[in-house]
Amino acid sequence: MENAIPFIDGIDTASAVAKLGGNTGAYFEMLGSFKREIAKKTELIREKAQLPDLSEFVILVHGVKGSARMLGMNDLGEEMYELECAGKGEQRDFIGNNLDRILSDYSSYEEKLASYDNRVTPSGSEGVGSQAVELLKKLRMALEDFESEEAERIVSEIGAFSFSGEAKELFEDLYDAIDNIDYFASIECVDKLLEVLNS
């Protein structure tokens, strides 16, 4: 059944889909995006954990925490929250003693989510129309008001559309910017994406 809520070990999928208003398409898209970022972000988190300034480390684990919680990965979200708190408190002993275990848990989702990494983007921008444009306008307002949770919710809905070419690249940049809580870069991506879709 195409719109059935999936069972995935260790993930509260029903709660996550409910947060998205029952939009399973958006949820599947987000699972695929989350899976594709694991290897890159694992490497970056390890790298930033070694720096004298842990601010970039905190930003990275905060982003993963938010995505994990939104997708129903509650245990992983809690682990990333622990790393975030440790980073803010300069608790390097905690980070050193727990980083490998937590990143191993994070990496385990690559296999769990492998079947959702199958996005096929058709030629043109089929399915992208007035609804996507309206969502992007709402997203811009949420970003201007620094409403991070609302912004994450809206961008997940936008992810249900299929983009191609420049629009696809801009959406991926937008997703990364929101994941990294970079409001100004996010607004810039929204404006560029609106320009492309309205051209």
**What's the pTM value of the predicted model, to 2 decimals?**
0.62
Q: Please check whether residues 99 and 176 belong to one and the same domain.
A: no
Q: Please check whether residues 137 and 107 belong to one and the same domain.
A: no
Domain range for 194: 130-198
Q: How many C-beta atoms lie closer than 10 Å to residue 187's C-beta?
A: 16
Q: Please check whether residues 140 and 96 belong to one and the same domain.
A: no
Q: Please check whether residues 106 and 141 belong to one and the same domain.
A: no
Q: How many C-beta atoms lie closer than 10 Å to residue 153's C-beta?
A: 18
For the chain, give the mean pLDDT. 84
- Residue 4 forms part of a structural domain: no
Measure the CA dihedral 25/26/30/32, to 10°: 20
Query: What is the pLDDT averaged over residues 132-161?
Result: 80
In the prediction, which pLDDT does 185 show? 86
Q: Please check whether residues 106 and 140 belong to one and the same domain.
A: no
Decide which of 198 and 109 is more confident.
109
Q: Please check whether residues 150 and 74 belong to one and the same domain.
A: no
Q: How far is it, in rounded angstroms, from Cα 172 to Cα 175? A: 5
Query: What is the pLDDT averaged over residues 191-195?
Result: 88
Is the model's pLDDT at 125 over the cut of 50?
A: no
Domain count, the chain: 2
Q: Please check whether residues 33 and 108 belong to one and the same domain.
A: yes
Measured in whole angstroms, how far is the alpha carbon of residue 131 from the centre of its chain? 21
CATH number at residue 74: 1.20.120
Q: Please check whether residues 156 and 112 belong to one and the same domain.
A: no
In the prediction, which pLDDT does 1 show? 36
